[in-house]
Amino acid sequence: MALIELSAIERVFTLGDSEVHALHALDLAIDAGEYVAIMGPSGSGKSTLLNLLGLLDHPNAGTYRLEGRDVTTLSAEEQARVRRERIGFVFQSFHLVPRLTAAENVALPMMLAGIAPAERGERVAKALADYGLTDRAGHRPDQLSGGQRQRVAIARATIMRPAMILADEPTGNLDRATGEDVMELLEGLNASGVTLIVVTHDPVLGQRARRRVMMEDGSKVEDTGAR
């Protein structure tokens, strides 16, 4: 059974009188454990697709099945729960909370999930150690380098042990060497079984993925892993 099944997805934005078809007649199936790069020119609908996959956005038509369940019809509360437990996000601009320390940022999803502080502390310490951030635990985001910030964000995305990680241009704000470090981290997670979906417009980065989905004008134009 596929982890993700999109069929006949439509996403239309209305700007004044003009309609933008950000996604059009899109079918896509992704199995658990896959490593998918979503590629394409700017404005082709990559981010819109990722937001849909992450339940941050809703399609105007079509169905989205996640782990066999139709999630488009879930209530907002249930969708929040799915995001909390099954999905990890990594953003181009890191999105760390500036007043919280690295450790507190990593603990944030567990706090929102109502996990007891003692367990939070243990899991955060382990995650920080895994990502080489132990000595940065008490630092605030503005005291960290870009690469360190993205590592904190990845630690946060994985702390709830999600089924998939959605990363929108995760290296977009990093230099090439740091970007490669970050990609290696994400790929390491994928190697341990987490489904990894990365949006990028960088062909070099895209080549690293086992499967590449090319987007253009809201439609899939090429899919190396299509069944």
Partner 1 sequence: MRPADVLRFAAGSATGYPLRTFLMVLAMSIGVAAVVMLTALGDGARRYVVNEFSSLGSNLVIVLPGRSETGGFNPANAITGTPRDLTVADAQAIARAPSVLRTAPLTIGTSEASYGGKLRDATVVGTTADYFLIRGLTVAQGRILPAGDTGLSSSVAILGAKVREELFGAEPAVGRMIRVGDRRYRIIGVMAQSGQGLGMNADEVIVLPVSAAQAMFNTNTLFRILVEAKGREAILTAKDEAAAIIKARHDNEEDVTVITQDAVLATFDRILGVLTYGVAGIAGISLAVAGILVMNVMLVAVTQRTGEIGLMKALGAPGHTIRNAFLTEAALLSAAGAVLGYLIGEGGAFALRLMFPTLPAYAPAWAVIAALGTALVTGLLFGVMPANRAARMDPVQALAKR
Ligand X SMILES: Nc1ncnc2c1ncn2[C@@H]1O[C@H](COP(=O)(O)OP(=O)(O)O)[C@@H](O)[C@H]1O
Contacted entry of partner 1, ligand X, Mg ion, none for residue 15, CB cut-off 5 to 8 Å set by kind: ligand X
- β-bridge pairing 87-90 and 164-168: parallel
Given a contact cutoff of 8 angstroms between Cβ atoms, the answer to whether 68 and 1 are in contact is yes
Choose, by CB under 6 A, the member of 26, 34, 36, 48 that binds ligand X.
Answer: 48
Q: Minimum CB separation from ligand X for residue 48, in Å?
A: 3
Nearest CB to ligand X, comparing residues 23 and 155: 23
CA separation for the pair 216, 116 (Å, rounded)? 45
Tell me, residue by residue from 26 to 55, as one string, x for binding to partner 1 by CB under 8 A and - for no binding. -------------------------x--x-
The H or E element spanning position 213 is strand 211-216
Contacted entry of Mg ion, partner 1, ligand X, none for residue 89, CB cut-off 5 to 8 Å set by kind: partner 1
Q: Which of residues 168-227 bind partner 1 (CB under 8 A)?
A: none
The H or E element spanning position 20 is strand 18-30
Does position 77 bind partner 1 by CB under 8 A?
yes
Does position 47 bind Mg ion by CB under 5 A?
yes
Choose, by CB under 8 A, the member of 21, 84, 201, 211 that binds partner 1.
Answer: 84
Does position 92 bind Mg ion by CB under 5 A?
no
CA separation for the pair 130, 128 (Å, rounded)? 5
CA separation for the pair 20, 163 (Å, rounded)? 31
Given a contact cutoff of 8 angstroms between Cβ atoms, the answer to whether 46 and 92 are in contact is no
Contacted entry of Mg ion, partner 1, ligand X, none for residue 118, CB cut-off 5 to 8 Å set by kind: none
Identify how many contiguous H helices and E strands the chain contains and give both numbers. Answer: 7, 10
Choose, by CB under 8 A, the member of 20, 108, 125, 137 that binds partner 1.
Answer: 108
CA separation for the pair 155, 88 (Å, rounded)? 10
Choose, by CB under 6 A, the member of 7, 13, 78, 138 that binds ligand X.
Answer: 13
Region for residue 113 given its phi and psi (left: phi exceeds 0; alpha: psi -120 to 50; beta: otherwise):
alpha
Nearest CB to ligand X, comparing residues 36 and 144: 36
Nearest CB to partner 1, comparing residues 8 and 80: 80
Q: Output the CA angle 145-197-77, nearest 5 degrees.
A: 95
Interacting residues with ligand X (CB under 6 A): 13, 15, 20, 22, 40, 42-48
